[in-house]
Amino acid sequence: MGVAASCCGGARSVSVDLNNDASLLIDIPDALCERDKVKFTVHTKTTLSSFQKPDFSVPRQHEDFIWLHDALVETEDYAGLIIPPAPPKPDFESPREKMHKLGEGEATMTKEEYTKMKQELEAEYLAVFKKTVQVHEVFLQRLSSHPILSKDRNFQIFLEYDQDLSVRRKNAKETFGSFFKNMVKSADEVIISGIKEVDDFFEQEKTFLLDYSSKIKDSTARAEKMTRSHKNVADDYIHISATLNSLSVDDNTKVEGRVASDEELKLTELLRYYMLDIQAAKDLLYRRARALADYENSNKALDKARLKSKDITQAEEHQQQCLQKFDKLSESGKRELTSFKGRRVVAFRKNLIEMAELEIKHAKNNMALLQGCIELLKSN
């Protein structure tokens, strides 16, 4: 199925204050979906001289975004930064499976019911599509609004290189291997919590992030389950209204359907996004913990060297390096984590307000619809 959608601007639901620095503006004005692959058109407008042109676009696939993310994560210099989480892979599994089931069940439904279900599915498909475009766009915009990351060479290549990136991607995969991916995720928690913390700020952050991370993961899963249930209820209403129509009674189907899909976009997405973001913050803590461990090890090595009176200078140098790295990480880490906190609170606020307003709007719409139906039936 070939679907093209233009998603111009629109409210960014999970992040705020992005894309307002005129020196580098990025957006994804449209995207094309062919079978499994989504092709995004990444459009850049810039006043920076580091770019060859002031206004240009390139086609990119999801894998290109992952390459960029991994490249940033692997860069030593960025160890003290929170790398924005990679956008999740476009997942059309759910609407596609439903479409398949619908096709199989076509014979048992009335034409009207089938049409309605098909419409709902197409809307769902479109919603998934819009969502994936949005998360990919937000990823790029977070990079462009970051003082350090926006200057990254790989980022520039991503935006500008007008050939297929897949060649670079293949090379990258070999170099980086799975150095980072291989680290067992559960190991971070042990390492992070095992480190004796010298700094109050980081001590608090560590406690907070570990706890919050598990809670938000739980909430995301629950929210997903809840919105799925809501969707089931909405689907049932479509069947009911179609059958009622053939018995010539009035109906009110769109009612529950809309509530489900909008709730999905607001709350679940917010939680999901911050779940990933918190993971990125935890990764930062992990790297810092590693640096601290390295520093402590270098101290031990220095002591040993002094005892043996061997390679003292080397050991001293190494110890200094470790200390510097650790201090740098701590300094940048503190900055990043503080701004992250602020960002998170603002995003939650915006989202919760929008969600509440949507719920109210929909409920009021439903009420009007229902009142209309009731009056119609009573007057007959």
Partner 1 sequence: EDSFDMEVAVTNPEKIGKEYIFFFTIFELMFGNHLETTLPMFRNRTFSVWRRFSDFLGLYEKLSVKHSLNGCIIPPPPEKSVVGMTKVKVGKDDSSSADFVERRRAALERYLQRVVCHPSLLQDPDVREFLERDELPRAVGTHTLSGAGFLKMINRASDAVSKMTIKISDSDAWFDNKLQEVESEELQLRKLHAVVDSLVNHRKELCGNTAVFAKSMAMLGNSEDNTALSRALSQLAEVEDKMETLHQEQAASDFFILAELLADYIRLLGAVRGCFEQRMKTWQRWQEAQSTLQKKREVEAKLLWANKPDKLQQAKEEITEWEGKVTQYERDFDRISVTVRKEFLRFEKEKSNDFKSQIVKYLESLLQSQQRHVKFWEAFLPEAKAIA
**Cα 140 from chain centroid?**
11
Judged by beta carbon, residue 177 or residue 342, the one nearer partner 1 is 342
Judged by beta carbon, residue 35 or residue 378, the one nearer partner 1 is 378
Does 237 interact with partner 1 (rule: CB under 8 A)? yes
Near partner 1 by CB under 8 A: residue from 47, 166, 232, 297: 232
Alpha-carbon gap, residue 155 to 349, rounded angstroms:
30
Near partner 1 by CB under 8 A: residue from 208, 258, 311, 328: 208
Q: Establish how many alpha carbons lie within 13 A of residue 40's alpha carbon, considering only the half-sphere containing its beta carbon.
A: 31
- Tracing tokens 């307002």 back to the chain, one arrives at 20
Q: How many residues contact partner 1, by CB under 8 A?
A: 50
- Tracing tokens 């607001």 back to the chain, one arrives at 266
- Min. distance of Cβ 348 from partner 1 in angstroms? 6
Q: Which stretch binds partner 1 (CB under 8 A): 30-38, 70-78, 150-158, 246-254?
A: 246-254
Judged by beta carbon, residue 237 or residue 286, the one nearer partner 1 is 237
Q: Is 60 helix (H, G, I), strand (E, B) or coil?
A: strand
Which 298-327 residues touch partner 1, going by CB under 8 A? none
Alpha-carbon gap, residue 292 to 297, rounded angstroms:
8
Does 345 interact with partner 1 (rule: CB under 8 A)? yes
Quick check: 355 and 266 in contact, CB under 8 A? yes
Beta-carbon contacts of 14 under 8 Å, excluding residues fewer than 6 positions away, are 135, 138, 269, 270, 273, 274, 347, 351
Does 374 interact with partner 1 (rule: CB under 8 A)? yes
Judged by beta carbon, residue 12 or residue 230, the one nearer partner 1 is 230
Q: Which stretch binds partner 1 (CB under 8 A): 11-19, 188-196, 326-334, 368-376?
A: 368-376
- Min. distance of Cβ 243 from partner 1 in angstroms? 5
DSSP string for residues in 249-305: -----HHHHHHHHHHIIIIIHHHHHHHHHHHHHHHHHHHHHHHHHHHHHHHHHHHHH
Near partner 1 by CB under 8 A: residue from 1, 5, 148, 356: 356
138's tokens: 């937000």
> What's at 364, amino acid-wise?
K
- The helix or strand, by DSSP H or E, that contains position 268, with its residue range, turns out to be none
**Cα 352 from chain centroid?**
18
Near partner 1 by CB under 8 A: residue from 8, 167, 247, 307: 247
Write out the residues near partner 1 by the rule CB under 8 A: 208, 211-212, 215-216, 218-219, 222-223, 225-226, 228-230, 232-233, 236-237, 239-240, 243-244, 246-247, 249-250, 252, 255, 341, 345, 348-349, 352-353, 355-357, 359-360, 363-364, 366-367, 370-371, 373-374, 377-378, 380
